[in-house]
Amino acid sequence: MAASPSEKPAVVRPDRDGVSVIGAANPGTIAMGGVLIIDDSLTVRAIIEEMLAGDSDLTVVGSASDVDTARRLIDRHRPRVITLDLAMPGIDGLTFLDELAASPHAPVLVVSSQTRRGSDSEHEAIERGAVACFDKAHLLSHAKDFRRLLKKSAKPH
């Protein structure tokens, strides 16, 4: 969806708490219905954001380094899909999946080095409500597969 001539394109507004708030450049306008990235690694968040840059189907609406920040961004942006790391400081990803299960929420794609194909962590994440898992170690080498899985996860179930 292209921006109207009077509307500036989306921009990233990083803050000091390890979160990037992404939205329209016009004050008071919030990008809705995109991807929220939750990972304590700034590098991984940047890799995913870069992988999705320019993809009109997958607009990143925010990026959080911890669950507390993620909660605020979920309330603010109502993302269409969430990527979630399992190994997080404070509240871990599996605990957050349990919390999300208590109410309607966007589909969650777990992106973690703990969720290798067939691993106990992969099975546990699915049991706790993740729609799919992707091994973080393969983000770059299988970027096309990651984007495809993210798009599939974002579709209504």
Label residue 30 by pLDDT band (50, 70, 90). Answer: very low
Residue 142 has pLDDT above 60, yes or no: yes
Angle between helices 120-127 and 93-100 (to 10 degrees): 20
User: What pLDDT sits at residue 47?
Assistant: 96
Q: What is the DSSP string of 12-78?
A: EEE-TTS-EEEEESSTT----SSEEEE-S-HHHHHHHHHHHTT-TT--EEEEESSHHHHHHHHHHH-
Token representation of residue 2: 């292209």
- Distance CA(121)–CA(114), nearest Å, equals 6
CA 45 to chain CA centroid, Å, is: 9
Residue 32 has pLDDT above 50, yes or no: no
H or E element in which residue 138 lies: none
6 or 131, greater pLDDT: 131
pLDDT, tens digit (0-9, with 9 covering 90-100), for 62-113: 999 999 999 999 999 999 999 999 999 899 999 999 999 999 999 999 999 9
Residue 27 has pLDDT above 80, yes or no: no
Among residues of the chain, what percentage have pLDDT more than 90? 68
Residue 11 has pLDDT above 90, yes or no: no
